[in-house]
């Protein structure tokens, strides 16, 4: 009987090798991708049945990759494997196209169960270790530097929290992706966030805490970055 094939996308060698070892008993590993920018090309070449996808990666994060991989290989089953154990992130990943969501500390039994589930069931698999409700990170809505953000910054934060990529935000706002990246960098600096994942998590927590109403801001883009 043919064993299902699995591709791993994670930029941490110890994690990816650990996942590969856990797969040996029941599945066939067809490769490891450590740079999200190479993922779609590898998927089209390897054509795996299942993708194990990390969220926190350099250059492009897993949430931004999800729509790309689902469009490239519609039959692919995607399981997000992450160290960020939070219901808001799990729900966001599922809404963005993931079929499963498990923590990196998952046992071999749980990993195998998740893969079997997404291959045979229509409903998503969410690890029992994920809380049924998201915690509300009050630090997000009470952050002392929030007042320094412009209305445009807040709108972009909401869009990041909704899982939109820089390209999608650029199209919705009628600006270039370069301008969106400029705003993302400005937001990180204003909030004292050191990396892109910190910005994404902050945005997700704001989305959970504040709800979904978004006011249309004035165009406050600096002249040198405006389109």
Range of the domain at 203: 138-210
- Verify that 50 and 152 share a domain, yes or no: no
Whether the model pTM is above 0.75: no
CATH number at residue 146: 1.10.10.10
Q: What is the pLDDT of residues 145-185, one digit of tens each?
A: 677 789 999 899 888 877 788 888 999 999 999 999 999 99
How far is Cα 3 from Cα 176, in angstroms, rounded to an integer?
A: 44
Q: What is the pLDDT of residues 35-46, one digit of tens each?
A: 888 999 999 999
How far is C-alpha 28 from the geometric centre of its chain's CA atoms?
25
Structural domain count, the chain: 2
- Verify that 100 and 149 share a domain, yes or no: no
């Amino acid at each position: 009987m043919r064993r299902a094939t699995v591709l791993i996308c994670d930029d941490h060698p110890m994690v990816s090798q650990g996942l590969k070892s856990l797969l040996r008993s029941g599945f066939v590993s067809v490769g490891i991708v450590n740079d999200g920018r190479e993922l779609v090309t590898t998927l089209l070449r390897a054509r795996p049945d299942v993708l194990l996808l990390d969220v926190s990666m350099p250059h492009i994060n897993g949430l931004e990759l999800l729509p790309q991989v689902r469009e490239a290989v519609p039959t692919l089953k995607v399981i997000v494997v992450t160290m960020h154990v939070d219901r808001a992130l799990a729900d966001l990943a599922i809404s963005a196209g993931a079929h499963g969501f498990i923590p990196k500390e998952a046992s071999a039994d749980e990993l195998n169960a998740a893969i079997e589930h997404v291959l045979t069931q229509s409903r998503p698999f969410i690890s029992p270790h994920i809380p049924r409700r998201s915690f509300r990170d009050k630090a997000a809505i009470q952050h002392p530097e929030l007042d320094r953000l412009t209305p445009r910054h807040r709108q972009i934060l909401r869009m990041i929290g909704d899982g939109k990529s820089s390209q999608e935000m650029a199209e919705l706002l009628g600006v270039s992706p370069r301008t969106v990246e400029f705003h993302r960098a400005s937001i990180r600096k204003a909030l004292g966030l050191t990396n892109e994942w910190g910005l994404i998590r902050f945005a997700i927590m704001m989305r959970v805490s504040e709800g979904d109403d978004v006011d249309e801001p004035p165009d406050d883009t600096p002249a040198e970055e405006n389109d």
